[in-house]
Structure 1
Amino acid sequence: MILRLFLKNYIDTLPVSCKLLGFLFGVNGELLERQYRNHLSGYLSWEQLSHAEKWILFEKNIDAYVGIDEDCLSQGELYTILINKERIGRSGSIIAIIKGTDVKIITSVLLRLSRRRRFKVREITLDMAPNMEQIARICFPVARRVTDRFHVQKLAYEAVQEMRVKARWEAQDEESIQIAHARACGKIYHAPVFENGDSRKQLLARSIYLLYKKESLWTESQRAHAAILFREYPDIKKAY
C-alpha cells in the first residue's frame, strides 16, 4: 500500500505512464493503472465526473489575466479552453475546458463561475473570431479584450501567401497558353528561367518558406531567391 501511494505521487506530478512506472519499480503496470483509475486517483468520486465529457471548471485557477481559444483535443473535436495566462502552462493554468464553440453553450458554463471571480479578470486575450469576442463580452464584462498577436501575425502571413498563390496560378495559366501555342506551331516550348535557374512558376512555388521567415533569418540562397521574387513582384515585396 505504501508503494502504491508512493507511485501515486509520481503519477500525479510527473508525465509518466503507469506501465513505465510499473516496469521501473517492478510492479504490474496494468494493475497499477486500474488501481490508480478506480481507487488512488479519486476519479470515480470526482464531483465533475457526471459532466466532464462536456465541460469542466476550475474556478480557483482564475486570475486577473486570462486567455480564451479553441483547440482540437481528440478526433478533431473542437473545445473552447480558458486559461490563466500568469501560470504560463504550469499547474493551475486551466480554468475551463468546454466541448464546442457555440456561444450559448460556452457562456452558460462560464457564467457558473462566481460573479466576484469573473469581475476579477482585468484582461482577456482572444483571437478575432466574433464568437470569442461575444463570449468574452458576456462573461467578463469589465475585462479589457486584447487580440492575440499570433493570430494577427497568422492573418498577415496568410495574406502574403494568398498573393503568392494567386501569382503562381497566373504564371501557370500563362505557361499553359504558351505551351498550347508552341504545339500549334509545331515547336517545343522551353520556359524562360531567371538567373538562379528557376522558371517563373518554380520561383513562386519555392518562395513559400522564405515569406514566413524574417529577412534576418534568410540563408544566402533564400536571399538571392527573394531578390528575384521582389524584383518581379513588387506587390508581394510591399506586402511582405
Structure 2
Amino acid sequence: MSDYRNWDQLEHAHDYLLYPENIGENLSLDETCLSNGDVYTILTNKAAKGRKGALVAMVRGVATDAVSGILRRLPHRKRLSVKTVTTDLSSAMMLTVRKVFPAAKLINDRFHVQQLMSEAVDRLRIRYRWKVLDAENQAIREHRQKKKEAKSKAERERIGKWEPERMENGETLPQIVSRSKHIILKHWSKWNEQQKTRAAILFDKFPKLLEGYSLSMKLTDIFNKKSGPDEARLNLARWYNEVEKFDYMEFNKVLDTFSNHSTTIINYFEERLTNASAESFNAKIKAFRSQLRGVADLKFFMFRLARLYA
C-alpha cells in the first residue's frame, strides 16, 4: 500500500496514465471499457508483446482533442521516433494518431476492414431472412383461410395442419437462413460438414448471397497474399469495382470506407502489422478486471494494471 500512496501517477490516475519510457517504433491505439461505461483510449508498444513495458498510455475518453491533448505530453522527440501506429477504422482514432505522431505511418487494422465486409454480407442475409419469414407467414395465413373456407369437415381434414417445407437436411428455409450467420462470417475452408450442407442449400436458394460471400472471401485472400503495396493496390481496385457492380445497399459503407481510407488500408501491405496486440491487451485487461470482480476503486485498479504492464 505504501507503493500505491507514493505512486507518481496517483493524482491523475483516474483520467490518464503516461509511460514515455515504453514508447517504441511500432504502436497500437485502441479503446476499452473499464467500468460503468467509462471508455479509455489505450496506447501500447507492440515490441513488448502484451507483457511488462507494453503500456505507453491510458486516457479517459475517446474524443480526439482530449486524448491528443494528454498524449502530446509525451516527449516530442519520442513521439517523432514512432514509425507506425495501427488503429481500427475510427475517424477519431486516426485523427488522434495524426495529431500526436506526425512522422508515423498510420495503418488500419486488416481484421476490422474484413469485419466490415463480413457484416455487410450478414446484413444481406438478414434481408433474405425477413423475406423468407414474410413468405412463411403469408403461407400460414393462406392455409388458415383455405381451411376456414372449407365446406365440410372432410375437406378440412383433407387440408390438414399447415406443414412448413423442409429442405434436404431436414431444416426449413427460415431455419437455414437464421442459422447461417456463422457460416458467412468465416472462411469456407473452416466449415464443418453440417455447415457445408447448409451453405449449399442457402446459396442455391439465394445466389446473390453467394456472390456477396465470395466477394468477402476474395478480400480475405487479398490480405492473406504476400504481396507488396503496388500489387495489393491493383488487386483491391479490381475487387472494389466488383463490389461496386454488385450494387447492393448493404455494401455502401464498405465502398465508402475504401474510398476514404484506401491509403491507410494499403499501408498494411508494407509492414503487415495489425492491431491484434491491442485486442490481446484489451482481453488481458478484461480478464484482470474479472479476477478482481469488477473495478471498485478505479485508481487502485489502474495502479495494479500499471505494475503489471507499465
Please state which band the TM-score falls in when normalised by the shorter chain. Answer: 0.7 to 0.9
Mapped to 2, the partners of 1:123 and 1:219 lie a distance apart of 38
User: Aligned partners of 2:88, 2:20: CA distance in 1, in Å?
Assistant: 22
**Structure 2 matches for 1:97-176, cutoff 5 A?**
97-176=58-137
**Residue among 134, 137, 142 paired with 1:181:** 142
Query: Are residue 193 (structure 1) and residue 154 (structure 2) matched?
Result: no
Give 1:221 shift: 1.4
Taking structure 2 as the reference length, the TM-score comes to: 0.63
Letter paired with 1:162: R
CA–CA distance in 1 between the matches of 2:92 and 2:77? 24
Q: Displacement of 1:81 after TM fit?
A: 0.4
Distance 1:237 1:87 in 2: 42
1:76 aligned residue (30, 37, 40): 37
Q: What pairs up with 1:84-99 in 2 under 5 angstroms?
A: 84-99=45-60
Structure 2 stretches lacking a partner, 5+ long: 148-158, 214-310
State the match for 2:306 in structure 1. none
One-letter amino acid of the structure 2 residue matched with residue 68 of structure 1: L
Instruction: Give the structure 1 partner of residue 11 of structure 2.
Output: 50
| Sequence identity (%) | 37
Distance 1:72 1:169 in 2: 33
Q: Which moved more, 1:59-68 or 1:179-188?
A: 179-188
The CA deviation at 1:76 is: 3.0
**CA–CA distance in 1 between the matches of 2:131 and 2:9?**
56
Q: CA deviation at 1:214?
A: 1.9
Q: Pairwise CA RMSD of aligned residues?
A: 1.2
1:218 aligns with 2:179: no
Structure 2: how far apart are the matches of 1:102 and 1:193? 52
How far 1:189 moved relative to its partner?
2.7
> What does the per-residue CA deviation read over 1:80-130, in whole Å, with 9 as the maximum and x for residues that have no partner?
000101211111001111111111110110010111011111111001111
2: distance between equivalents of 1:86 and 1:235? 44
Aligned mates of 2:117, 2:32 — CA distance in 1: 21
Q: Does 1:209 align with 2:182?
A: yes
**Bigger relative contact order, structure 1 or 2 (CA pairs below 8 A, ≥6 apart):** 2
- Give the letter for the 1:173 counterpart: D
Q: 4+ residue runs of structure 1 moved beyond 3 angstroms?
A: none
The separation in 1 between residues aligned to 2:212 and 2:47, in whole angstroms, is 34
Note the C-alpha offset of 1:157: 1.8
Deviations, residues 24-69 of structure 1 (Å, cap 9, x unaligned) = xxxxxxxxxxxxxx22xx1111111110011000100001100101
Select the structure that is richer in helix.
Answer: 2
Q: Deviations over 1:119-154 (max 9, x none)?
A: 111111001111011101111111111001121122
Which amino acid is 1:172 matched to? L
Tell me how far apart the structure 2 counterparts of residues 45 and 120 of structure 1 sit (CA, whole Å): 31
Q: Give 1 or 2 for the bigger CA radius of gyration.
A: 1
Please report how far the alpha carbon of residue 212 of structure 1 lies from its aligned counterpart in structure 2 after TM superposition: 2.3
Note the alpha carbon deviations across 1:135-176, whole angstroms, 9 max, x for none. Answer: 011111111110011211221221121111111111111111
| Paired residues, number | 201
Cα offset, 1:190, TM superposition:
2.1
Letter in 2 for 1:191: P
